[in-house]
Structure 1
Amino acid sequence: MQLVSTIIIIGGVAILAFLGFNSGGDDDSEESGISKVCNFTSDPTLPEVKEYPKKLSLLDDEMQVWPLQLACKPESFGYSIEEGNSIFEDVDFPSCKKLYPGKHAAKIDLVQNVFIMNCSGKYVLGPNEESFGKQEFTTPLTKYIKPVPLSNEEYAISTCSSDSEGFFEIVDYVNRVKPKSLTRAKKTLQYEPINIAMVVLDSVSRRSFYRKLNKTVSYLNNLDENVFDFKIHNVMGEYSAESFMPTFFGDLAFSRLDDDEMEGDKFYEKSIWKFMHERGFVTYMASDCCGNDLSAFIGSSPKVDHKIGSFYCAGEKYYNFHNNAKKQRCIGQKNAHKYMLDYLLDFSENYKEVSRFSYVHLNTAHEGSGTVIKTLDDDLVDFLTKLMNRKEKTVLFLMGDHGMRYGSWFTKMDGSHEHRLPLLIMYQSKEMERTQPDSPIFLRHNMNRLTSKFDLHTTLVDLAGKSFFPKNSFNQSKCSTSHRYETYNLFQEAIPDNRTCTDVGIPLFWCACMPFEENPDLIDTEESYSLVDEIILKLNEYTISPINTERTICQKLFRDKILSVSSQSSGIEHYHKFKFNTSQSEKAMFEALVLISDTKIRKRLRDGFGSNAYYFDDKQYMKIMYIKRLDAYAGVCKDLSDMKGIDPMFCICQDIDKIKENEPVIVQELYDKHKVIVSNLTCEQACSELKLDCDEFAVDLYRHCRDVDKGVCQECEETKGLSFPEYFEGKCKLSDYNTFSCTEERDMEALCFCKKI
């Protein structure tokens, strides 16, 4: 992706437009125009924090954030439980060991520094020095005869099978202590060792974490120590680079490196690992991707002490491993991601005399089905159990780089906010909490405020530099992150309630709490009419079959009234939020957000409703960001839409009698799911006794006597107007505008409409 040079101004601060990377801007050149004077100070005053439930819960975001008076308060935190479960199938996966059983063994013996197998198979060893980036794994297979002397290799892949194309079932990956790294860390360590681990789950939003990793959530809920769940951790852009670059370097200008620029460590002098090397840390970085996701931005050989990179290129060769595959990814008898987690545990133990920093990037959930994430659950519980059983000062960041970019991420607000609000859970051990006893108060406050990756950089700098900075003064760590945006140490500073995306450099396009101003002057204008007509045209494309519109269940929609217009502009980007209704329904109300851009919208961001040239005064480009319904649309129309594969949010159904003529098969299927009974109980109770649900909306199906089973009504009368579906001594009375309640008490028999669960 090319870097767009356009600069936009928000609140007097220059940031890059959404069409390219939000790549920050602090650099050492005089031409940058950025002041090197940093006047940020810190207020260590403890915030007032009400008691929150200690149990983690998916819907805590709405319950805890919406009542607060915040400048940044997302309208949505992602898919509802029901919607998420309907979009992303729940799939269970077997263990890799069950899929690929094997009795033989092979291992790297670090004491003898040899590789040993208990069979006469074949093997391949890893390189002496690891690097990141797309690379062809060319090390040849060797037949095993006797123990193999080693140099610095850390992994071996082997098989006892004689089949040259067979599965390599045995993998051993070890962490070798590097004496030079250990010596350096001991010399610079000035306080008790600390273990800082960042475990990044690529493409995992906060809500997808709760939907799919039930065992991990349960484990965290059973911990004695506090676990802090950040609800408004906003992305700084679309891609992983806009997550790890500000985390590693703070507010640094960056762009994608060309292939011939990827060698070495491009930003070592400004890196978090250099900062930590100077303060008694050894460092470890890993990514389960044989690609340039990391190397295209930081270089192929960052000067961390330990890396895992080429192993996954070997995985491509010998296991058909691909990090975007919509299937379980086994390497040997373990899930591919587990090698990085196990290595982190060995690394933590082997260097326990000094401080440690780990960054592990897991791509397990980076795929389009939303199911493979489940393979993480058992492995995460195993990893967390072992890490948290270590009796030492430990800080864990369990986080996403961004949420999912699949499904309805650019047609619905819920989908787009799944991307904008990735996971961030922070944990500190009891040993760590004793060194900063007020930290739980700050963390409980901050977990319900807007945070960004810049805050993580500031927090890391302060955690690593505690013995170097004056007590209760964080201006050095804040200024090391950015001279433009004020950032916060999440453990020891309170984020203000009035913080906005602009304050922290988050582009408006990616902000989950974009501010809007009501603009009544735009309601009755030709431009607004034109834009709303474009929105309705898109709705009709989604709901009406272009081949035979008479066989659809949805009506063709036409604009009735524009109810309100809210706007926000930033340079080349102009956002308009419309609320409107259509002439096909008095009750239905829609909301849509539209972007009008002065420049062409890049291809990736045309997902969803697409983008097209838009002509009003001048040529611009239009993108519908999302469309949603503001009214309740449950009922028969929703059921029929679901059965036809139409999004019920976009559909206003035709008259039920017309649908019966055009779609008799699906209407009959809906009748088959219902049962009309007679009872003097509440219908909720009566249906429950039959192990059915009461369906208040089913009266729309039963507007004629012919719709009711003859065994229910001996006689039936049809009326017009509003009435309850009556029953008396075998006689039924139905109306085409029935009212019906599942919970209404009655002292005589009446009709109930039940539905199969």
Structure 2
Amino acid sequence: MGFRAVNGQFSIKWFIFCVIFVIFLVLYTPIWSDDNNPRMRSQTYPGFANPTPGENLANAPKVKDHKYFVHTSKCMIPYIDPFSEGAMKQYSPRTFIPCSNDSELVSTLYDVNLKRYVLHINEPVAHKLLNSTDKQFNCFYREILHGQEAETYDTLAPSKYFSQDYVVPLHVDGMLLDCETAEVPPVKIQKDAYMFIQYQEKQPAVKPRKERAPPPRKPSVIMYGIDTLSRINLRRTMPVVYEFLKGPGWYEMQGYNKVGDNSFPNIFAIVSGYSPEKAKEHVCDTDKKGCLDEIPMIWKYFKNASYLTAYAEDESGSNTFSYLKPGFTKKPTDYYFRPFLRALESKMDNYNCPDCRMTYCYGRRLANSYIYDYCRQFMQRYVEERPIFGMFWSNHFSHDDYFMPSAMQHKILGDLLDYEKDGSLEHTIMIFFADHGVRYGNILSLPEGYLEERLPMMFIYLPPWFRKQYPEYTAALDLNQHRLSSNFDLHNTLKHIIEMGGTPDGPKLPISYDCPTCQSLFYPIAENRTCPEAGIADHWCTCEPYKPIRSLDWSERIAPRVIEQMNEYFVLKNLSHLCSNLSLNYIHNTEIKTGLEITWDDELPELETAIYRTKFKVKQNSADFQATVVFNNITEAVKVNVESISRTNSYAEDSTCINDKIAKLYCICFSDLKS
């Protein structure tokens, strides 16, 4: 009896030891390696960047650190639980609201033999809408005609009657459609709108005098964007989409950090490689009419590489290049959606979602349905026979309500599944991304609020053939998922894709002007990369922690000095006659940048000059701001770029007296002052 007890104790101790040993092996052993592949062991990459000296790409640790999005020697971006207690106290899932419960009376079909669109009238739907099988009805369409300038449509052509399975003429790119009873006066049955990617025959290439080896296969590139969606909020509000994006071939850039405040500087960095400020210095002022036509946008490079190009957004008022901007005077891409959007806005019944300023429905359909149908047609028509590039961007459901994506997740998943079902993803590098996270609202009051704002989602899909043909690029992208990256890196990646389809001795495209140390994501990012090396300013950088200051009286003097500089900014911009001087109401918090070597438990060092982040409220309209500053606690000198200060609550009703896109963040108009 005694022997059995001793033996049992020994067995339990041995079992516990084995469990601990197994856990140690799992946690501290790389889960993949390729020591037997000499090519992978010694591989280096010419061009934008090479691995850190001594770093073996194949043997780079792949164990996921669930405490961090990025955990390197120079950057630690903490992982945030999207379902934390604080977040869930605020989170309220939204209910999907359909634009119409009626079935589609007229469907558009594509005849692959004719290579033409066909209008098919669904008779059973007509009988249901008319509540009769005998009533006669007629259907008409009006062609949407382009205007003289790229941003407008000119007018609508006269109504044209059509009958069953009408073949749409090739010159018709968009139409408004009406069906009505044949009685007098007629009664409307249904109104709708359709846009078409009309097929264009590819011009035969001129045969070279000398026979050459066929060029490498060119991947198509589709950029599928959603405004104001952080990787944290994606996990919270669209879990079914997130699960899809964890599938084979998808790579999440968990160190992707925005470089500017709102949509324009972040998207502009991707498509041009410039910040608006540098573009103004070296190319032209994006606030001036005609400038956006001169900027070397990425679609111009794709066009020069024989790609067909397309660009579409679903909201006219907050369009990336037209919100308080002059837009384009020339059609920027082969297929450009904005003229059709303007027709939808002026001729269709428009509806907003609750608490949203943007249009939720154009007629019977969701605003973003038009955009992603346009994207699907673009891929269906061309992706199997020639390379294409397109950017398709949705603002309407996510910009004003950061929990509204929860109502749209099945719609977005359906789009992605449709592209997959069509076989389009077999030919396409797809970039599923956002510009930034939530920029104002209660969620920013959470301790992790600054990460919600600064870490947009970024997923890149590589088709199987690409992964097989370019294993070194695939391995680099895989590694880079947990390294710091930025919009400028994505710009360089797009140019790298263009170069892949060229000849080996072809010219190299210029890298991002604003960030000469940025690179393609198909090359390994250095383990010790910093925010300045990625083109990310201190105010937006999420790599180094900040620690709250509660005991030092001088820290309360930072916010008033920032406000002084904001008031001086109004004078310099000649806005002081329109914008009220700001005065401090109270300080939410002040934090000091500690550096990675200091833990939360360490005492704060005695520093004369340091970097601080201060969040404060002003008396004028209770506006909230957050600023990152260099502050000397002896001289009280403050160094801050006013135009990088974040406005953390809505400014929609505070700055109606000015149209300056940046100054609107800080200006409280005299005419908009509230008591």
TM-score (norm 1): 0.58
Q: Is the 8 A contact 1:197 1:357 kept in 2?
A: yes
Partner of 1:287: 313
Partner of 2:495: 461
**Against the structure 1 CA distance between its residues 567 and 145, is the aligned structure 2 distance closer, same or farther, given a 3 Å change threshold?**
farther
1: CA distance, partners of 2:312 / 2:370: 10
2: CA distance, partners of 1:186 / 1:381: 43
**Against the structure 1 CA distance between its residues 602 and 499, is the aligned structure 2 distance closer, same or farther, given a 3 Å change threshold?**
closer
Partner of 2:402: 370
2: CA distance, partners of 1:290 / 1:364: 10
Q: Is the 8 A contact 1:47 1:441 kept in 2?
A: yes
1:155 to 174, 181, 187: 174
Partner of 2:473: 439
Q: Is the 8 A contact 2:218 2:500 kept in 1?
A: no
Alignment of 1:329-478 (within 5 A): 329-351=360-382, 352-389=384-421, 390=423, 392-408=426-442, 411-468=445-502, 470=504, 476=508
**Against the structure 1 CA distance between its residues 593 and 262, is the aligned structure 2 distance closer, same or farther, given a 3 Å change threshold?**
closer
**Against the structure 1 CA distance between its residues 523 and 169, is the aligned structure 2 distance closer, same or farther, given a 3 Å change threshold?**
closer
2: CA distance, partners of 1:136 / 1:306: 14
2: CA distance, partners of 1:48 / 1:507: 32
Residues 1:202 and 2:202 are matched in the alignment:
no
Q: Is the 8 A contact 2:228 2:402 kept in 1?
A: no
Residues 1:528 and 2:555 are matched in the alignment:
yes
**Against the structure 1 CA distance between its residues 388 and 70, is the aligned structure 2 distance closer, same or farther, given a 3 Å change threshold?**
farther
Q: Is the 8 A contact 1:184 1:280 kept in 2?
A: no
Deviations along 1:605-650, one digit per CA (max 9) or x if unpaired, are: 343599xxxxxxxxxxxx9xxxxxxxxxxxxxxxxxxxxxxxxxxx
Alignment of 1:273-312 (within 5 A): 273-291=299-317, 292-295=319-322, 296=325, 299-312=328-341
Q: Is the 8 A contact 1:125 1:155 kept in 2?
A: yes
**Against the structure 1 CA distance between its residues 92 and 515, is the aligned structure 2 distance closer, same or farther, given a 3 Å change threshold?**
closer
Larger radius of gyration: 1
> CA offset at residue 388 of structure 1?
3.0
> CA offset at residue 202 of structure 1?
0.9
> CA offset at residue 342 of structure 1?
2.3
2: CA distance, partners of 1:328 / 1:431: 40
Residues 1:499 and 2:503 are matched in the alignment:
no
Q: Secondary structure at the match of 2:175?
A: strand
Q: Secondary structure at the match of 2:419?
A: helix
**Against the structure 1 CA distance between its residues 315 and 263, is the aligned structure 2 distance closer, same or farther, given a 3 Å change threshold?**
farther
Partner of 1:217: 242
Partner of 1:73: 76
1: CA distance, partners of 2:410 / 2:387: 28
Q: Secondary structure at the match of 2:646?
A: helix
2: CA distance, partners of 1:346 / 1:88: 36
Deviations along 1:691-744, one digit per CA (max 9) or x if unpaired, are: xxxxxxxxxxxxxxxxxxxxxxxxxxxxxxxxxxxxxxxxxxxxxxxxxxxxxx
Partner of 1:90: 93
**Against the structure 1 CA distance between its residues 569 and 78, is the aligned structure 2 distance closer, same or farther, given a 3 Å change threshold?**
farther
1:142 to 142, 159, 172: 159
Q: Is the 8 A contact 1:70 1:497 kept in 2?
A: yes
Could you tell me which amino acid in structure 1 is paired with residue 604 of structure 2? S
2: CA distance, partners of 1:89 / 1:383: 24
Q: Secondary structure at the match of 2:240?
A: helix
Residues 1:63 and 2:67 are matched in the alignment:
yes
1: CA distance, partners of 2:396 / 2:607: 38
1: CA distance, partners of 2:101 / 2:205: 42
1: CA distance, partners of 2:607 / 2:547: 5
Q: Is the 8 A contact 1:316 1:322 kept in 2?
A: no
> CA offset at residue 219 of structure 1?
2.6
Could you tell me which amino acid in structure 2 is paired with residue 315 of structure 1? L
Bigger Cα displacement from structure 2, 403-412 vs 428-437: 403-412
**Against the structure 1 CA distance between its residues 76 and 113, is the aligned structure 2 distance closer, same or farther, given a 3 Å change threshold?**
closer
Q: Is the 8 A contact 2:254 2:481 kept in 1?
A: yes
Partner of 1:584: none
Q: Secondary structure at the match of 2:176?
A: strand
Could you tell me which amino acid in structure 2 is paired with residue 510 of structure 1? W
2: CA distance, partners of 1:125 / 1:46: 56
Could you tell me which amino acid in structure 2 is paired with residue 385 of structure 1? L
Q: Is the 8 A contact 2:511 2:519 kept in 1?
A: no
1: CA distance, partners of 2:368 / 2:169: 25
Partner of 1:229: 252
1:485 to 482, 495, 516: 516
Q: Secondary structure at the match of 1:487?
A: coil
Q: Is the 8 A contact 2:138 2:179 kept in 1?
A: yes
Aligned pairs, how many?
515
1: CA distance, partners of 2:255 / 2:160: 54
2: CA distance, partners of 1:364 / 1:320: 12
2: CA distance, partners of 1:368 / 1:90: 15
- What are the ranges of 5 or more consecutive residues in structure 1 without an aligned counterpart? 1-38, 54-59, 542-561, 579-591, 611-622, 624-757
Q: Secondary structure at the match of 2:379?
A: helix
Deviations along 1:57-86, one digit per CA (max 9) or x if unpaired, are: xxx7x43546x3331213565855433333
Residues 1:607 and 2:637 are matched in the alignment:
no
Q: Secondary structure at the match of 2:430?
A: strand
RMSD: 4.6
Could you tell me which amino acid in structure 2 is paired with residue 49 of structure 1? A
**Against the structure 1 CA distance between its residues 349 and 212, is the aligned structure 2 distance closer, same or farther, given a 3 Å change threshold?**
same
2: CA distance, partners of 1:185 / 1:326: 51
1: CA distance, partners of 2:646 / 2:514: 30
Q: Is the 8 A contact 2:488 2:512 kept in 1?
A: yes
2: CA distance, partners of 1:485 / 1:95: 47
Partner of 1:626: none
> CA offset at residue 333 of structure 1?
4.1
Partner of 1:49: 60
2: CA distance, partners of 1:47 / 1:566: 43
**Against the structure 1 CA distance between its residues 201 and 182, is the aligned structure 2 distance closer, same or farther, given a 3 Å change threshold?**
farther
> CA offset at residue 403 of structure 1?
0.9
> CA offset at residue 307 of structure 1?
1.4
Deviations along 1:539-571, one digit per CA (max 9) or x if unpaired, are: 799xxxxxxxxxxxxxxxxxxxx963687979x
Could you tell me which amino acid in structure 2 is paired with residue 392 of structure 1? E
**Against the structure 1 CA distance between its residues 454 and 393, is the aligned structure 2 distance closer, same or farther, given a 3 Å change threshold?**
same
Partner of 2:263: 240
Partner of 2:612: 575
- What are the ranges of 5 or more consecutive residues in structure 2 without an aligned counterpart? 1-45, 122-136, 563-583, 590-601, 616-625, 632-637, 652-664, 666-675
Could you tell me which amino acid in structure 1 is paired with residue 484 of structure 2? L
2: CA distance, partners of 1:167 / 1:508: 57
2: CA distance, partners of 1:356 / 1:65: 32
Q: Secondary structure at the match of 2:533?
A: helix
> CA offset at residue 525 of structure 1?
6.7
**Against the structure 1 CA distance between its residues 307 and 42, is the aligned structure 2 distance closer, same or farther, given a 3 Å change threshold?**
same
2: CA distance, partners of 1:427 / 1:185: 33
